[in-house]
Every structure is written in structure tokens, then in C-alpha cells.
Structure 1
């Protein structure tokens, strides 16, 4: 099974412009994502797909590979599809490793590929982790519910399910990692936008509304996603506390 990882990284952002190029310790956000993806050992090739030449230059400076893709693409998965089409070579699985997760864990990346490596029937896979109570009401933290086999039922920025008194297991936070069969990735950009996708501003709901099967695995390791200036400050604090060498 040949697997490609594409790291989509946009420069414009209404909440935090240029976040792939922000520094965390001695590395940029995008370099941290690149390093973690390569070090996972899960992929035959890794590439950054971006809309900005500044990101291309940064990636090439640290020895990575980057492709310049159209700024008109609607979401990360469309950018991943465009990058996969532009590359020579055939891949069975293509993963979307979001460029705003500088601390993405090896556990999460392995969980993303596990259903395919185990022969489970799925068009897409994704990853969840136990939801921290402090993030329950945060609309920037996406939640997921699955059926008893791990198939995704719904994703929301609201807390789901609604009544915690009747839940006998942990709430789950969705991590923005996806892997597609090559056929599913070719199909995804052709799907029409859907009402729930628009309501939640979550591209994965387009796949669910069109009947695609998404299998989710739960990873034990947490990860700080950088969506807002507050997230960036949390990430900087984590680096100071965990990576600063003692004097």
C-alpha cells in the first residue's frame, strides 16, 4: 500500500494570518508538522500544498518539498486532491495532515492509517481524542460522534451529544486529519456543497451528506491546533514549558 501525505497550508486566515510561518521555539509551525509527518514512517512521500510563495520558500529552506496550488480552492481536502493530481506516481492512500497542528503525535498519524493497513472497509479515515472539559463549549474545537463500529455519524462545533448525564463514555474531539482512498479523493472535489457543511463550516460533512463512509480511530495523545491567536499563545507556552533546555 503506497501512501502519500499532503500538508495543506494556507497563508490567508481571518483568525490568524500566516500561521504556518509562525515560530514555535526554533522551528516554524509548518516545519513541525513536516517533521512529525516524515518521522511517523507511514508515508512513501510527503509534500506541502500551499497558496503562497513565502510558504514554499520556507519549506524548501528546511529541506522539504512544496507545491504551489490555486488560491481559489475551497478547503484543505480540495488542496490535497490538487496536489495529488500534480505529483507523478500512483498512491493507494492520500492523507491530509493539517498544517495547523504542529504537535501532531505519532500515535494520531498511526491511528489515521490503521484502518487501511488492517483492511477495514472505508473511503476515508480520521482521528479523534478524548475532549478536554475546558474545550467543551469552544466552537473552534470540533466534536465527533461515531457508531459502535467507529464510523463517523456527525461532526459539530457544538457539544454533541447534548445530554452528558446519559453518556457513559468520553466526549470526543475531532482532529483535522483525514486519509482517503485514491478513488475517494478524486470523488470528493466533484461533490456539491451541502447544507450541513455550510451550517457548521466543516468540509467533512460534505462527505457524510453524500453518503461516504468515514472511519474514526481514537488516539490517546492530544494535540494543540492553532486556529486563533489564543491557540498560538497556548502553543508557545507549551514549548517554553516542555522544550526549553535547562540553564
Structure 2
């Protein structure tokens, strides 16, 4: 069931990056990376609008050149979530809007993941959603792969860089890896950005724990899809191949 509220994707695209400065402008098959992200997101039928939120005039100029809607935001935001909150205000989105946080370094994004992410908002009680997919026990050991466990009703109990749950008595080891995409109702997003970083958030270095520590539930949606992000320049060849194969 599709949500009955407007759904808008915002793509945070910050120029500065310690590992890959200027990453949103990286060339992929003749177009900047952020264009591919926006193009993939726009294929999700639930979205009425896709907007890039940047802090850099070069990205704004490239967005204008390639016909991508963009807004200029402050360079001082601590996270992409804060940038999305400012962008939502600049765009004057209605309070009932569901805002989808589409990471700016996911040029091979599968649009079906956005459809899965926003589907739970057909339930008016859902305030925030995210995705998770099965990972093998070896991958679960990696602290860069965040793990998640959730309740019988589908709301997240905890996210951790450690393998959770701990399989004390052996048996089949099942782990769910968190996929770092989110969708929020605007009031939940506004409340999150108004709150200070929480204790567990600081310990795990996972900002989504701020929601849980402050009683804001996150609905976890299992997905069979995976994505391949760009963290470093050497990742570009992989996503170029993936995008070429999907054309």
C-alpha cells in the first residue's frame, strides 16, 4: 500500500570530505555522481520531488547545468540529517510530508529500496523508517557494517557496530545489517535535529540511536536489495560497471 502523504527525497551533497574531496562531482559515465543518485531516486514512483541539498556553489552550478533541483544549505552542519532538516525548511514542505534521506554517495541505488522505505507510512503511527538486509557472520564482525535487531512489531530495539544478537549457545547465526537510508515524517525529523547527541549515539558513533534513546521508534524494513556506495576514489570503477550493466 502506498502512503497517502507526499514523499520527497533530499540528497545531501557536501563538497568537503577527508577521504574524497569533491565526491558529489566525481565523473560517472559523463555525469556527476549526484546526478546519478537523483536520477535513480526519481524512478521511485512514490516520490513527487527529488532535491539535492549542498553547501557548495560548484555543486549548485553543476545541478543547474544537469537539470537537477538543488538548494544551498549551511556548511556548518554536523551531519547530513541536519542538512536535510534545513533543506526541508527552505523548500517549505508541508508538515505531513515524508522526507527520504538518500545518501549522496549511492549512485547505483535501486529505486525499489525507496519504495520499500516509504511503504510503512501508510500506517499513520509510523514516524521513521530504515532498511536492513541479511549479512553473513563474517561480515557481521566488521564494525563498519552496522547491525540491527528489532521487535516483533518491527521497530528497532538497537543498532550496534558489534555483532548482535550474541549467539551464546551456537546454532544458526542470523544477522541483519543496517542499510543507511531513512525516511521521516517532518515532525520526527525536526525533533531529532533539535535534540543533543545522546549517550549511546556518542559511544557507538551511530546517530540513529538518538531516536531510540528519546523514545522515537524506527520501523525496520527487511530488504533483499543491497547497495554499493562510494567511499573512496577507487570505488568509482565498481559503480561505473554496475551502472553500465543496468543501462
Q: TM-score, normalised by structure 1?
A: 0.88
Question: 2:182 aligns to what SS in structure 1?
Answer: strand
For these two proteins, the number of residue pairs brought into alignment is 241
Counterpart mapping for 1:73-92 below 5 A: 73-90=77-94, 91-92=96-97
Between the aligned partners of 1:35 and 1:95, the Cα distance in structure 2 is 14
Check 1:57–1:198 CA distance in 2 against 1; reply closer, same or farther (3 A cut).
Answer: same
Please report the RMSD computed on the Cα atoms of aligned residues, expressed in angstroms. 2.3
Aligned to 2:234: 233
- 1:128 corresponds, among 132, 151, 162, to 132
Between the aligned partners of 1:15 and 1:197, the Cα distance in structure 2 is 23
Aligned to 1:26: 30
The answer to whether structure 1 residue 67 and structure 2 residue 71 are counterparts is: yes
Q: Which runs of 5+ in 1 are unaligned?
A: none
Task: Tell me if structure 1 keeps the 8 A contact 2:132–2:148.
Answer: yes
Q: TM-score, normalised by structure 2?
A: 0.88
Aligned to 1:37: 41
Task: Tell me if structure 2 keeps the 8 A contact 1:107–1:219.
Answer: no
Question: 1:135 aligns to what SS in structure 2?
Answer: helix
In the TM superposition, what is the alpha-carbon distance from 1:243 to its structure 2 partner?
A: 1.8
Structure 1 stretch displaced more, 185-194 or 167-176? 167-176
Between the aligned partners of 2:112 and 2:67, the Cα distance in structure 1 is 24
Aligned to 1:196: 200
Question: 2:47 aligns to what SS in structure 1?
Answer: coil
Check 1:202–1:31 CA distance in 2 against 1; reply closer, same or farther (3 A cut).
Answer: same
Between the aligned partners of 1:54 and 1:187, the Cα distance in structure 2 is 31
- 2:117 corresponds, among 112, 117, 140, to 112
Between the aligned partners of 2:85 and 2:103, the Cα distance in structure 1 is 14
Between the aligned partners of 1:50 and 1:196, the Cα distance in structure 2 is 29
Between the aligned partners of 2:137 and 2:61, the Cα distance in structure 1 is 39
Check 1:242–1:18 CA distance in 2 against 1; reply closer, same or farther (3 A cut).
Answer: closer
Check 1:89–1:147 CA distance in 2 against 1; reply closer, same or farther (3 A cut).
Answer: closer
Structure 1 stretch displaced more, 37-46 or 159-168? 159-168
Between the aligned partners of 1:102 and 1:134, the Cα distance in structure 2 is 26
Task: Tell me if structure 2 keeps the 8 A contact 1:145–1:154.
Answer: yes
Check 1:11–1:103 CA distance in 2 against 1; reply closer, same or farther (3 A cut).
Answer: same
Task: Tell me if structure 2 keeps the 8 A contact 1:6–1:96.
Answer: yes
Task: Tell me if structure 2 keeps the 8 A contact 1:224–1:235.
Answer: no
In the TM superposition, what is the alpha-carbon distance from 1:219 to its structure 2 partner?
A: 1.3
Between the aligned partners of 1:68 and 1:238, the Cα distance in structure 2 is 27
Task: Tell me if structure 2 keeps the 8 A contact 1:107–1:220.
Answer: no
Task: Tell me if structure 2 keeps the 8 A contact 1:67–1:83.
Answer: yes
Check 1:237–1:185 CA distance in 2 against 1; reply closer, same or farther (3 A cut).
Answer: closer
Aligned to 1:163: 167
Aligned to 2:215: 211
Check 1:188–1:133 CA distance in 2 against 1; reply closer, same or farther (3 A cut).
Answer: same
In the TM superposition, what is the alpha-carbon distance from 1:34 to its structure 2 partner?
A: 0.3
- 2:103 corresponds, among 92, 98, 101, to 98
